[in-house]
């Protein structure tokens, strides 16, 4: 499901299990990066935000309701 966010940014919703998903995995699943190495570089750049806060940990655990902003895209975990 996609909707239009502010400033033309589209929100992609990705369903995960009750256990959630790790940030690096979500970045790959959402096609923001192609590999774990790309995820690491993007996170180290400081350009990834989770719920409005900068996040640099590839293993950060996300749960339904979290929102990730990265590479000009927004992904909502559901």
- pLDDT in tens for each of the 78 residues of the chain? 334 344 556 789 999 988 899 999 999 999 999 999 999 999 999 999 999 999 999 999 999 999 999 999 999 999
What CATH fold (topology level) applies to the domain 2-77?
Answer: 3.10.290
Q: Are 44 and 38 in contact (CB under 8 A)?
A: no
Q: Are 58 and 25 in contact (CB under 8 A)?
A: no
Domain boundaries of the chain, sorted by first residue = 2-77
Q: Are 73 and 10 in contact (CB under 8 A)?
A: yes
């Amino acid at each position: 499901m996609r909707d239009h966010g502010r400033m033309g940014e589209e929100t992609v919703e990705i369903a995960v299990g009750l256990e959630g998903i790790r940030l690096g995995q979500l970045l790959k699943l959402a096609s923001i990066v192609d590999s774990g190495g790309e995820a690491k570089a993007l996170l180290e750049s400081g350009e990834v935000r989770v719920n409005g806060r900068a996040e640099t940990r590839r293993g950060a655990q996300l749960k339904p309701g979290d929102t990730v902003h990265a590479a000009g895209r927004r992904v909502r975990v559901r």
